[in-house]
A and B are shown apart, each in its own frame.
Chain A
Amino acid sequence: MKTFLRLILVLAVIGVVALIAFIFIPVQRTPAQTALAADYTVPEGQGEYTMRLADCAACHTADDGVPFAGGRPIESPLGTIYSSNITPDPETGIGNYTLADFRAALVDGLRRDGTHLYPAMPYENYRMLSEEDIRALYAYFHDQLEPVSNPTPETELSFPFNQRWALRGWNWLALGDPGFTSTLSDAELARGEYLVTGPGHCGACHTPRSPIMTQAALTGADDAFLSGGEIAGWTAPALRGANSAIRGWSAADIRLIFATGRNAHSAVNGEMQLVIRDSTQFFSDEDLDAIAGYLVHLNSGEQAPAEPTETATEQLLASADPSMDLGPRLYLDNCGACHFVNGRGADEVFPELDGSSLVTANSPTGLISMILHGGELPSTAERPERLRMPGFAHRLSDDEVATLASFLRQGWTNDAGPVSAADVSALRDEPATN
């Protein structure tokens, strides 16, 4: 008995010591994965370009805020996380960060003082950044940007999520090996894979999360990677697999949507509009082609959607029969002018609704929000027009939006579940995402 108690005591002491160690012993920082020449300098323009590749603006610039001065609220399932000021201001930004400090933030999720960043910062993905790209980002944010003094709001999550030290354990489970090694032999595909998995951090939204909120897969070799996720309640569609939103798309289709936010099938919506606005439209043609090639490669085994034929929905709408149900009537009165009775819209201008990943998403949030509040495509060099769908909140009741959304989700060849008026009501007063 005594022995047993002693054992308990010893275990408890070990546990306490381990916990103290877990909390207080500094985390080892990951060293540079490539030794660059001592006189290595970042090529002209590479800093800004890599910032575009990594889409730092998306989180680190507040609406109407100074670029990269932080303070943007990021809604997470755990609460609101405020992004930090990453201009080189010594007090409120990263002015005092050394290269090693900066690298640790990107690949280990560590602040300069050693505390853990919340993984809203996609260091799971940035961990794959090449040393050259880390150096480029450091050059841009530390040496090229003007400092902006902007104290950002403290992130205050509720217990236990406010215990940042616990992320040490989370990181053990979440993080893969540092650096990037492609499994693909084709150099262009490998470049595309790097951009998608690393700086582009596509998986942060498009890969499902595990029960403890880690990305379920970090590399393309795993089928879970890019198999669909969620962002701010909107479904981030699957980009591979049987339900891939982009199956059947050509490399040119994919290139165009990243360059312009629109293509013959679809138009970006929700958070993806910001990705186009701040990031992908600035990618070089080579990088756009590489990404397009890689995403085509990920979808190479999938069946393209069947060629459109006249559906019962189309026949019903074209009949203009006054006795038709409310759903199709609402469609004719509100949607058909642009999206047409076949639900196929017009190339690059009016997105397809038949087969649309927004319409058929598991979560109807995006669809409802689009009907209520509309959406606007960002202006890009290749397609400058800010094509805007108006919102219909002023015109349609919760019941009508639900009926219309349910019709869309079942119309043509779509097959997704119905929407309730309560779903709509919850989103009615939400500001449009963009």
Chain B
Amino acid sequence: MARTDPKKDVVIIGLGWTGSILGMELAQEGLEILALERGPDRETVPDFQYPNVIDELKYGIRLGFMQKPRNSTLTVRRSLTETAQPYRRLGSFLPGDGVGGAGIHWNGQTWRPMAEEFRLKSYVEESFGADIIPEGMTIQDWGVSYDELEPYFDRFEYMAGIAGKAGNLNGEIQPGGNPFEAPRSRDYPMPPMKQGVDAQMFEQAARAMGLHPFPRPAANATQAYTNEYGMQLGPCNYCGFCERYGCANYSKSSPQTCVLDALKRMPNFSYKVNSEVLKIELAEDRATATGVTYFDEAAQEEVFQPADLVIVAAYSLHNVHLMLLSGIGDPWDPVTQTGTTGKNYAYQMNGGTSMFFRDVEFNPFAAAGSNGVSIDDYAINQIDFAREGFIGGSYITAGISNGQPIRGISLPAGTPSWGAGWKQGIGDWYGHSMSIGSHGSNMAYRDCYLDLDPTYTDRHGRPLMRMTFNWKDNDIRMTQFMRSKIEPIAEAMQPDSWRSSYKSEGAQYDVRPYQTTHNVGGAIMGEDRETSSLNRYLQTWGQHNVFVMGASAFPQNIQYNPTGAVGALAYWAADAIRRDYLPNPRPLV
């Protein structure tokens, strides 16, 4: 029997980065806000307390901060003809849960996409002609330009306290920064991180080859820092426990360190944990939402929470799942190519070359999630797509993020994988390897999408979401191109040995090994209601009081880690809601 609670002005689904940001921005308008978080509450102490959190088995292997598939998962297939199977064991990607969401267990790499990426389809057509876009590739423009978003990137970077080095300040190229980045209005709020031996070696080699290395932009503080909300970060001590862990040291930007204690002081804001939203409820005419129904774990009952404004701020995959379950937008049909919800799911095409140096001590235990050096010489705006035969790009990077013993030891080809030989290899090679990675874009395709599974249901009886995804030739050509650029750098560094791992022709998506938790698309933003789920302000085309945050809005994947763009879009949408929507609630486009 569902309970109905008193109406709120705003209900926010999910209390991670975007839920926290929207909570803060809308609370400043005096609105009564309730955030619903399906996972538990989390605070630096005791949840990330030193030294308890420095436990690779508990959090790195057994994934203590991630969602449990028994509570929430999806099914996966690689083509329209396969039968999808449930993702019963986390592997390829690791959605977080709990307060802070994935914002607690990320590495902290905080990039801005290239200006060209926001209008990728137009850029390709103008620069190389529409006919280079392969059959079945469904890339689109975002409907918002880099120039429009620049102030919101700036806002997010200063709120989150990002350490880096500008490469383009208002059009002036800055030595030591990324010369290929879009212009930024001011430098990062903190100086870049210190670099390990591997990054320094890569930097030297890259520079010697005429390339343009620069420090990675990092949400790992390099100084004591206070942001616009008065929230504070302490300097990172390079303990090497970022990804998969909460930060013990108040050093990694997260909702906890950057927003939440300030938000919790707002008397008009409250939040409930262990409260999973099951459905966004729509009015009879379907032109607006009336609120959400959630499962209150403590009371063991369904609750209808009425609200005037619904902010969907769960993980990107869950945003799409909720929209599909709630009838927001028509589901994408890959055959008729109609509908929008679930369209253009995309991932990230990564590859890398590992190198072994018998005589170099890399001290990998002194590291952080985002220290490292990158080059953007092979980025999207530097590649002739027509000549190279693919659309996309990648940043190339070196930076050891940890020296954790279970997962963090790379061994040269030919080392036994068990027994005395393996032990010998571990002893010989711990701290003697580094890698150069390619972190690349992934285009959108007609048959890479999200819909509801016809067979499997979750513990609430709702259909699971089904992911249909596979690697495509275009992106494999992109990563092979990156291989052809990385291997010469690796050879120039004269390792004792090296081995490469890049997807090659015929590669199939495999959900078992970890790849990246950069799942994007499915609720994409755009200029046209026929081809996108959200307008340029992240407002659903059909229900003007529903706004959907997160990387689900990306029409295809960028060549960078998504959080910078997710943060900028959240501030962009919050600003539109505050300035334009609240005074006169209506479709903003």
What is A's interface to B at a CB cutoff of 8 Å?
334, 336-338, 340, 345-350, 374, 376, 379, 381-390, 395
Give chain B's interface residues, CB within 8 Å of chain A: 43-46, 49-51, 223-224, 226, 229-235, 237, 239, 248-250, 257, 261-262, 264-265
Q: Determine the distance from Cα of A395 to Cα of B249 in the docked complex, in whole angstroms.
A: 18
Which of A336, A337, A374, A385 lies in contact with B261, CB distance below 8 A?
A385
Determine the chain B residues whose CB is within 8 A of the CB of A376 once the complex forms: 45
- A374 / chain B contacts, CB cutoff of 8 Å: 45
Return the contact of B237 from the options A337, A381, A385, A388 (Cβ within 8 A): A337
Are A385 and B231 touching (Cβ within 8 A)? yes
Q: CA A175 – CA B186 in complex, angstroms?
A: 60
A340 contacts across to B, CB distance below 8 A: 237
Partner of B250, one of A334, A336, A379, A387: A387
- Inter-chain contact B224/A348, CB cutoff 8 Å: yes
Alpha-carbon distance A386/B231, docked complex (angstroms)? 9
* Closest Cβ–Cβ distance, residue B338 to chain A (whole Å): 48
How far apart sit A189 and B581, CA to CA, in the bound complex (Å)? 50
Q: Find B239's partner among A337, A382, A386 (CB 8 Å cutoff).
A: A337
Q: How far is the CB of A277 from chain B (nearest CB, A)?
A: 12
Measured between beta carbons, the chain B residues less than 8 angstroms from A384 are: 229-231, 261-262, 264-265
* Smallest CB separation, B219 vs chain A (Å): 16
CB neighbours of B265 from chain A (8 A): 379, 381, 384
Collect the chain B residues with CB atoms within 8 Å of residue A348's CB. 224, 226, 232
Cα A345 to Cα B223 with chains together (Å): 11
Inter-chain contact B230/A382, CB cutoff 8 Å: yes
Cβ B50 vs Cβ A337 within 8 A: yes
- Could you list some 30 contacts between A and B, CB below 8 A? A334-B50, A334-B51, A338-B234, A338-B237, A346-B234, A347-B224, A348-B232, A349-B224, A349-B233, A349-B234, A349-B250, A379-B261, A379-B264, A379-B265, A381-B230, A381-B265, A383-B230, A384-B230, A384-B261, A384-B262, A384-B265, A385-B232, A385-B257, A385-B261, A385-B262, A387-B232, A388-B43, A388-B45, A390-B46, A395-B51
**Least distance between B277 CB and chain A CB atoms (Å):** 27
Q: Which residues of A contact B49 (CB under 8 A)?
A: 390
Chain B residues near A349: list those with CB within 8 A.
224, 232-235, 250
| Bound-complex Cα distance A379 to B260 (A) | 11
Question: Which A residues lie within 8 Å of B235 (CB)?
Answer: 346, 349
Chain A residues with CB under 8 Å of B237's CB are: 336-338, 340
Task: Give CA–CA (A347, B237) in the complex, Å.
Answer: 15
Most buried by B among A334, A383, A389: A383
Bound CA span A376–B261, Å: 13
Bound CA span A340–B49, Å: 17
Cβ B230 vs Cβ A385 within 8 A: yes
The 7 closest A-B pairs by CB, nearest first: A349-B234, A346-B224, A388-B45, A384-B262, A347-B224, A390-B49, A384-B261
Residue from the list B223, B226, B257 in contact with A383, Cβ < 8 A: B226
Most A CB contacts (10 A, CB to CB) among B44, B51, B234 go to: B234
Query: Which chain A residue lies CB-closest to B46?
Result: A390
The CA-CA distance from A382 to B262 in the complex, in Å, is 9
- Output the residue of B50, B257, B262 with the most chain A CB within 10 A: B50
Assess whether B231 is in contact with A350, with CB atoms less than 8 Å apart: no
Measured CB to CB, the nearest residue on chain A to B265 is A384
Find the B residue at minimum CB distance from A380. B230
B220 shortest CB reach to chain A, Å: 13
Which residue of B has the minimal Cβ distance to A394?
A: B52
Chain A, residue nearest B234 (CB) = A349
Please give, as numbers and ranges, the residues of chain B lying within 8 Å of A395 by CB-CB distance: 51
Apart from the given pairs A349-B232, A349-B234, 17 other A-B contacts in the complex at a CB distance below 8 Å: A334-B50, A337-B237, A337-B249, A338-B237, A338-B249, A346-B224, A346-B235, A348-B224, A349-B224, A349-B233, A349-B235, A350-B234, A379-B264, A381-B265, A387-B232, A390-B50, A395-B51
Cα separation A334 to B237 with both chains bound (whole Å): 13
CB neighbours (8 Å) of B239 from chain A are: 337
A349 to B235 Cα, complex, angstroms:
9
Question: Which residue of the partner chain A has the closest CB to B45?
Answer: A388
Task: Compute how far the CA of A382 lies from the CA of B228 in the bound complex, rounded to whole angstroms.
Answer: 10
A388 near B44 with CB under 8 A, answer: yes
Least CB distance from A126 to B in Å reads 30
Distance A387 CA – B41 CA, assembled complex (angstroms): 16
Q: How far is A383 from B226 in the complex, measured between Cα atoms in Å?
A: 8
- Chain A residues with Cβ under 8 A from B234's Cβ? 338, 345-346, 349-350
Tell me the minimal C-beta distance from A348 to chain B in angstroms.
6
Q: Report the minimal beta-carbon distance from B230 to chain A, rounded to whole angstroms.
A: 5
Chain B nearest CB: distance from A18 CB in Å? 58
B51 touches A346 (CB 8 A): no
Minimum distance in angstroms from B271 CB to a CB of chain A: 15
Taking the nearest CB of chain B, how far is it from the CB of A389, in angstroms?
A: 8
Chain A residues with CB under 8 Å of B264's CB are: 379, 384
A386 vs B45: C-alpha distance in the bound complex, in angstroms?
10
**Cα of A294 to Cα of B288 in the assembled complex, Å:** 59
Residues of the B chain whose Cβ atoms lie less than 8 Å from the Cβ of A337: 50, 237, 239, 248-249
Cβ contacts under 8 Å, A386 to chain B: 261
Residues in chain A near residue B261, CB distance under 8 A: 379, 384-386
- Which residues of B lie under 8 Å from residue A382 when comparing CB positions? 230
- Contacts of A336 on B, CB cut-off 8 Å? 237
**Shortest CB–CB separation between residue A341 and chain B, in angstroms?**
10
CA distance A389 to B249 in the complex (A): 9
Expressed in whole angstroms, the minimum distance between the Cβ of B223 and any Cβ of chain A is 7
Residues of A within 8 A of B51 (CB): 334, 395
Distance, CA A171 to CA B551, complexed state (A): 70
Q: How far is the CB of B561 from chain A (nearest CB, A)?
A: 25
Q: Which residue of B lies closest to A340 (CB)?
A: B237
| Complexed CA–CA distance, A348 and B223 (Å) | 11
Closest to A346 in B: B224
Nearest chain A CB to B98 CB, angstrom units: 18
CB-based nearest A residue for B248: A337
Min distance, Cβ A211 to any Cβ of chain B, angstroms:
42
- Given that A338-B234, A338-B249 are known contacts, is A346 also in contact with B45, CB under 8 Å in the complex? no
Considering the complex, give the chain A residue whose CB is closest to the CB of B266: A384
Best-buried of B45, B249, B262, B264 by chain A (most CB within 10 Å): B45
Q: How far is the CA of A379 from the CA of B420 in the complex (A)?
A: 55
User: Which residues on the A side are within 8 Å of B45 (C-beta)?
Assistant: 374, 376, 388-390
Report the minimal beta-carbon distance from B238 to chain A, rounded to whole angstroms. 10
- Compute how far the CA of A273 lies from the CA of B233 in the bound complex, rounded to whole angstroms: 20
Specify which chain A residues have a CB less than 8 angstroms from the CB of B231 in the assembled complex: 384-385
> Chain B residues near A383 (CB, 8 Å)?
226, 230, 232
Assembled-state Cα–Cα distance A346/B237 (Å): 11
Find chain B residues with CB under 8 A from A338 CB: 234, 237, 249
Inter-chain contacts of B50 with A (CB < 8 A)? 334, 337, 390
Give the docked Cα–Cα distance between A219 and B584 (Å). 60
Whole-angstrom distance between the alpha carbons of A385 and B43 in the complex? 11
Shortest beta-carbon distance from A257 to chain B in Å: 14
Cα A338 to Cα B249 in complex, Å, equals 7
Least distance between B266 CB and chain A CB atoms (Å)? 10
Separation of A334 and B224 alpha carbons in the complex (Å): 20
The residue in A340, A347, A349, A381 that gathers the most chain B C-beta atoms within 10 A of its C-beta is: A349
A386's closest neighbor in chain B, by CB? B261
In the complex the two chains form, what is the Cα distance from A87 to B340 in whole Å? 61
Closest to A262 in B: B232
A84 and B290 alpha carbons, distance in the complex (Å): 49
Report the minimum CB–CB distance from B28 to chain A (whole Å): 14
- Closest Cβ of chain B to A263, distance in Å, is 11
Chain B, Cβ-Cβ closest to A349: B234
CB neighbours (8 Å) of A347 from chain B are: 224
Question: Which of B230, B231, B264 is most buried by chain A, counting CB atoms within 10 A of its CB?
Answer: B230
Q: How far is the CA of A28 from the CA of B441 in the complex (A)?
A: 85
Question: How far apart are A267's CB and chain B's nearest CB, in angstroms?
Answer: 11
A383 to B225 CA separation, bound complex (whole angstroms):
11
B575 → chain A closest CB, angstroms: 22
Nearest CB of B to A144, in Å: 19
**Complex alpha-carbon distance, A240 and B79, angstroms:** 76
Chain A residues with CB below 8 A from B232, complex form: 348-349, 383, 385, 387
